[in-house]
Amino acid sequence: MKFKILCLCMTSFLCFANANNIDVDTEPKPPVTDSYKSDERYQFTIQQKNYSFSSFFEIDSEDTYRGNVKKSQFRLRDHYDLSDKDGWCATGIKRIFSLGSLYDWAAEIDVFGVNDEFLGAIEGKVLTTAKARFLLFDRNREVVGIAFIDLDGKGVTITDPNNETYTLARLTRNFVLDIQDDWSIVVYEPENLDDRLIRIFAAFCIDSQGSFHKDI
C-alpha cells in the first residue's frame, strides 16, 4: 500500500513538473556563453608530449588561461579534447569520410562545446598555392578566418576572409632539429575568433607538423 502511494506521489510530481516546465535533472549542464572570446591581443605556446595511449598538447600562457588538448589513441576518429582549469570545455572531432582521413592538408574537424553545441569547424581545401589552406567557420557556419600554411611548413597565418592581406593570428613552429619543438601563437584580433577553435587548430597543427615539414 505504501509503495502504491509512493508511486502515485512520484507520478503526480512528474506530471506537475512537466506541466510547469520544471527541470528535474539533478546535474544541469552549464550555460552556453561567449566567454572564450577576448577583447585584447594574447599569445600562448603549445608543446606535444606523447604517452603510451594518448598525446597531450600542453598550453602555457601569461596572457590567458593555461590548459591542454588530449588526443587518445583508441578512437575510430581523432578527437582533440580541450581542457582549462575548470575541466573539459570543447572537443574537435575529425571527419572520417573525407580526404582528411588520408591527408592532413585535407583534414576536416568539427568543434563542439560541453552541451554538444556546434562551435565551429576547420576544413582543409585542395586547390591552393600555399602548402595548405584551411577555412575556419564559426557556430553560424560562416567563414571567420582563412589559415595558410607557409611553403616551408614552419608556420601558419590566419587572415581575414574579406581581406587576405590582413592577419588575424599567427602560429609559428619553433623548429630545432632532433629536439622536441613547440609552437608560438599570437592572436591579434581575438574578437573575431573563438579561442577554443584556435587552440584545437593549434593542437592539430603540431600533431600533423611532420606532414608539412619533416624533422630531417
Nearest to 182 by CA among 190, 171, 174: 174
Which CATH number does 40-212 carry? 3.20.90.10
- The string of pLDDT tens digits covering residues 194-204 is 999 999 999 99
Integer Cα distance of 136 and 123 in angstroms: 7
pLDDT digits (tens, 9 = 90+) for 122-131: 999 876 666 7
Judge whether residue 11 has pLDDT over 70: no
Res. 33: pLDDT tops 80: no
* Per-residue pLDDT reduced to its tens digit, 59-92: 999 999 999 999 988 888 899 999 998 999 999 9
Q: Mention every residue, 6+ apart, whose C-beta is less than 8 A from residue 93.
A: 77, 78, 79, 80, 109, 110, 111, 112
Domain regions of the chain by residue span: 40-212
**Is 164 a residue whose pLDDT tops 60?**
yes
Report how far residue 119's alpha carbon sits from residue 139's, in angstroms, rounded to the nearest whole number: 4
CA separation for the pair 112, 122 (Å, rounded): 12
On whether the CB atoms of residues 124 and 106 are closer than 8 A, the answer is yes
pLDDT value of residue 35: 58
Lowest mean pLDDT, pick from 15-24, 130-139, 140-149:
15-24
Q: What is the per-residue pLDDT for 173? A: 93
pTM reported for the whole predicted model: 0.78
Cell of 150: 607557409
Q: Give me the pLDDT at residue 185, please.
A: 97
Name the band, by pLDDT with cuts 50, 70 and 90, for residue 215. Answer: low
Return the minimum-mean-pLDDT range out of 57-66, 145-154, 157-166, 170-179. Answer: 170-179
Which of 90, 82, 125, 81 has the alpha carbon at shortest distance from 106? 125
Interatomic CA distance for residues 43 and 187, integer angstroms: 6
Confidence of residue 37 (pLDDT cuts 50, 70, 90): low
Q: What 3-state DSSP class applies to 203? A: helix
16, pLDDT greater than 60: no
What pLDDT is attached to residue 71? Answer: 94
Of 194 and 99, the structure prediction assigns the larger pLDDT to 194
The CA-based diameter of the chain, rounded to the nearest angstrom, is 79
Quick one: pLDDT at residue 60? Answer: 96
Q: Percent of the chain beyond pLDDT 90?
A: 57
